[in-house]
Amino acid sequence: MKPISYEVANAEVKAVFDDIKTTRKLDDVNNFWKYLANEPRMLAHVWNSVKDIMGPGSLDPLTKELIYVAISITNNCDYCMASHGFAARMKGASEEQLNELYAVVGLANMTNRLANAYRVPVDEAFRTES
């Protein structure tokens, strides 16, 4: 698979690239979008979803970026760890915060398996509240 650069992109892809650049105040889009441009329909869907959900909302943008990093670590996605780790730093994450995030990711992956191993039944208190 080859990346699609702005110069050779069709009008549909160019429109999405322009929106990404304007929204994120960037001179060029990241590799992720250039590769995804091989499937213009998904390029538009993914960008529209990301733009809508990762922007201001009920959760602050940094919190959402940290959640993104945590999932990317759990799924072992190199590109995603790099790109969202970068984005988290741009949105203000300190090295201390990232280190604490990694600790939480480690703990959650440990206790997820311990809960599985013991087949722990859900406490009544959790059921009635949720």
Nearer to a second copy, 7 or 124 (CB): 124
Q: Residue ranges of the alpha helices (H) in 30-94?
A: 31-36, 40-54, 61-74, 78-90
Burial class of residue 30, CB neighbours in 10 A (0-12, 13-18, 19+): middle
- Which residues, other chains included, contact 33 with Cβ-Cβ below 8 Å and sequence gap of 6+? 16, 17, 20, 43, 47
Nearer to a second copy, 14 or 62 (CB): 62
Of 10 and 111, nearer to a second copy (C-beta) is 111
Nearest approach, Cβ of residue 18 and a second copy (Å): 19
Min dist CB 14 to a second copy, Å, is 18
Q: How far apart are CB 100 and a second copy at their closest, in Å? A: 5
Q: Nearer to a second copy by C-beta: 18 or 63?
A: 63
CB of 7 to a second copy, least distance (A): 18
Cβ(55)–Cβ(62) below 8 Å: no
